[in-house]
Amino acid sequence: MTQIDSPPRFSRRAVLQAGLGASAMIALPAAAIAAPPGFDAWRDAFRSRALAKGVSDTTYSRVMGRIEPDMSVFKSMQKQPEFHEELWQYVNRRASDWRITAGKEALRKNEALFGRIEQDFGVERGTLLALWGVESAFGDPLVQQNHMRPVFPSLAALAWNEPRRRAYWETELINALKIVDKGWGTPDEMRGSWAGAMGHTQWMPEVWLNVGIDYDRDGRVSPFGRPDDALGSSARFLVNRGKYPRGEHWGYEVRAGGAASSDSKKSFAAWSDAGVTRADGKPFPQPNAGAKLWVPVQGGPAFLLGQGFYAVRSYNPSMNYALAICHLGDRILGAPPFLQPFPGSERILTLAEVQEVQTRLTKAGFDTGGTDGRVGNDTMKAVRDYQTKMGLLPADGYGGLKVLARLRQGS
């Protein structure tokens, strides 16, 4: 099994305002590193600060009594892999065949939940399915177990020994302790990224405390287990923070007729009068709703973006992320790929083809972390290393058709 994707990191203020945790790179814990001297004294002294913030002495002893700091977080912090993707590569990886298939199954299992959310908040099921799939692979327990680490050893290490943002990490450690104190999660359940982002939506502890709601009415906000609270909380955030419009689709691929991106907001009817039409030839179902024109890459697909798109962007302030989420949501619900391809793009690999890439890379000595058809940092690093060795430029870590063809040729 490979690692799953993560959105960009946020400042502490942006985390709370945007309602999304700093979903940093999700990695397998490195080998245990001995804690430098002084941790025990810090842990004992930190007790009073935690108690002053409302953490019970019982919870502090339960969680922190014998904890050892996970010093590997500093290596993870310093050595996060960087991949410079074209927009089409970014979208393809997130709207993968695996996510589309798994998203359909997640919808089948949670049909009643998504129906209730649509009724209560007006947020389309495709949007939430895509967010869930990108953030935590639809809450896959194997991902939790194999590709996430216990958050308390990580946060303890950062709160104790990360000088640049120590106050932030101290606060998040206390927030995580409060979650245990409230009975929202146990220390064993609380697994996440090296930075402490956790649960179905990969939120930081502070965000769970301030944004999470008890949507299943069981008396607690649950980052783990049933997805009701996480998805209900995300829907409410999209409405409250992102002004998600009930009953409106996020937008449409269009034929722009040579028009360029515009920050001018016009009705769909006005855009239609200006010669901008849906790529599939269908009429705009709500001609009076407002939209902006976005042409991300000249020669590629163009889009009229409604407020639903910008609501997703408020969840993570990246146009690329919002487009990937909105497109993945459409694909899960049966829509086709973009009708106008991006220049130089490749089609999305099938699940079987991704697994073939992973299998061939592994046999060639490039560890993908598994052959499950999910593409994360492990697989991308293996692809990049293979590209570098074979002189395939650019060595961008994208395992598409060109890489697959070269792998089939052998070395």
Q: Quick: pLDDT tens for 223-256.
A: 999 999 999 999 999 999 999 999 999 999 999 9
Ramachandran angles phi, psi of 293, nearest 5°: -95, 130
User: Which residues are within 8 A (CB) of 1 and not within 5 positions of it... i.e. 6 or more apart?
Assistant: 142, 143, 146, 147, 369, 370, 372, 374
What span, in angstroms and rounded, lies between the C-alpha atoms of 375 and 79? Answer: 19
What span, in angstroms and rounded, lies between the C-alpha atoms of 135 and 227? Answer: 12
pLDDT of residue 226: 96
- How much is the average pLDDT of 390-395? 93
- List where CATH 1.10.8.350 sits in the chain: 12-81+144-240
- How much is the average pLDDT of 216-224? 96
What span, in angstroms and rounded, lies between the C-alpha atoms of 196 and 173? Answer: 9
pLDDT of residue 284: 97
Q: Tell me what percent of the residues of the chain surpass a pLDDT of 90.
A: 82
Q: Which of 82-86, 211-215, 224-228, 396-400 has the lowest average pLDDT?
A: 82-86
pLDDT of residue 155: 98
pLDDT of residue 202: 95
pLDDT of residue 79: 63
Q: Is the pLDDT of residue 28 over 70?
A: no
Sign, Cα dihedral of 43, 48, 53, 55: positive
How many residues does the structure list for the chain? 411
Axis-axis angle for helices 57-64, 166-181 (nearest 10): 110
pLDDT confidence tier of residue 76, bands split at 50, 70 and 90: confident
Quick one: which of 289, 285, 328 has its CA closest to 305? 289
Element (H, E) at 173: helix 166-181
Q: Is the pLDDT of residue 63 over 50?
A: yes
Q: Tell me what percent of the residues of the chain surpass a pLDDT of 70.
A: 90
Q: Torsion-angle region of residue 2: left (phi > 0), alpha (psi -120 to 50) or beta? A: beta
What span, in angstroms and rounded, lies between the C-alpha atoms of 161 and 98? Answer: 39
Q: How far is CA 12 from CA 15, 199, 382, in A?
A: 5, 18, 32
Q: Which one is predicted more confidently, 358 or 377?
A: 358
Q: What does pLDDT average to over the chain?
A: 90
**What's the pTM value of the predicted model, to 2 decimals?**
0.89
pLDDT of residue 73: 93
Element (H, E) at 191: strand 191-192
pLDDT of residue 411: 57
- Tokens matching residue 155: 């946060």
- How much is the average pLDDT of 385-411? 93
pLDDT confidence tier of residue 18, bands split at 50, 70 and 90: very low
- Tokens matching residue 292: 């902006």
Q: Quick: pLDDT tens for 251-285.
A: 999 999 889 999 999 999 999 999 999 999 999 99
Q: Which one is predicted more confidently, 395 or 19?
A: 395
Structural contact between residues 354 and 373, judged by C-beta atoms closer than 8 angstroms: yes
Arch. (CATH architecture) of 12-81+144-240? Orthogonal Bundle (1.10)
pLDDT of residue 147: 77
pLDDT of residue 34: 52
Q: Is the pLDDT of residue 122 over 90?
A: yes
pLDDT of residue 82: 65
Ramachandran angles phi, psi of 203, nearest 5°: -95, 150
Ramachandran angles phi, psi of 305, nearest 5°: -105, 120
What span, in angstroms and rounded, lies between the C-alpha atoms of 212 and 333? Answer: 26
- Tokens matching residue 242: 């992102």
